[in-house]
Amino acid sequence: MSYPVSISLTREASASRVQLIFGFLIALPDSIVLFFKSILASIYMFLACFTILFTGKYPQGWWEYSKGVAITSAQLQAYLMNLTTKKGSESLVKIDLAYPGSWSRLKLIFGAFFLIPHFFLGIFKAIGFIFVHGISFWTILFAGTYPEGMWNYAYSFYRFTTRITFFSQLLLSDTPPTSGKAD
């Protein structure tokens, strides 16, 4: 059974040294705009909790807006993780997410409990990512490429965290898998 969100990213042949050093500054304007969009998405999510409790459905307009913000955030995250050199509408990150239609009221109430194994696993994956990211920083700086094995680990970690984020933002009704494997 495949998970209802598809996340794909093509590995680029070379990495940008400028992005590596100044990426956070280049991404700052997008981050500021995303911050304000996220405020409205958070309000929609809060209101959707009550809507889901009473009707079992997330209003589709609110969901579409929140989905757009979450995808933009995920694309920016991939850029800041040096997985891609493009951001915004040029991003190589493709995320396909369909409106689920109905939500389980029990998952809404107990959703955080379903994520407990993911949080413990995420701690270990994050520690691994910190090492991979630190080593790849120097490799990109001197060689101009992201080592393939390290890129694959970082991409797996990215998929893992993105799926958890989408579930916790009520964009998905299915609990995410604990692996970061492709769909």
pLDDT tens for 53-86 read 899 888 999 999 999 999 999 999 988 888 888 8
Q: Read off the tokens for 102.
A: 């109905």
Band (5; pLDDT cuts 50, 70, 90): confident
Residue 149 resides in a domain: yes
What H or E segment, with its residue span, contains residue 6?
A: strand 5-8
Residue 31 resides in a domain: yes
Residue 178 resides in a domain: no
Band (175; pLDDT cuts 50, 70, 90): confident
Residue 110 resides in a domain: yes
Q: How far apart are CA 177 and CA 174, in angstroms?
A: 9
Residue 173 resides in a domain: no
Residue 174 resides in a domain: no
Residue 160 resides in a domain: yes
Higher pLDDT, 64 or 91: 64
Hey, what amino acid is at 169?
A: Q
Structural domain span for residue 73: 5-168
Q: Please give the tally of structural domains in the chain.
A: 1
Model confidence, pTM: 0.88
Residue 179 resides in a domain: no
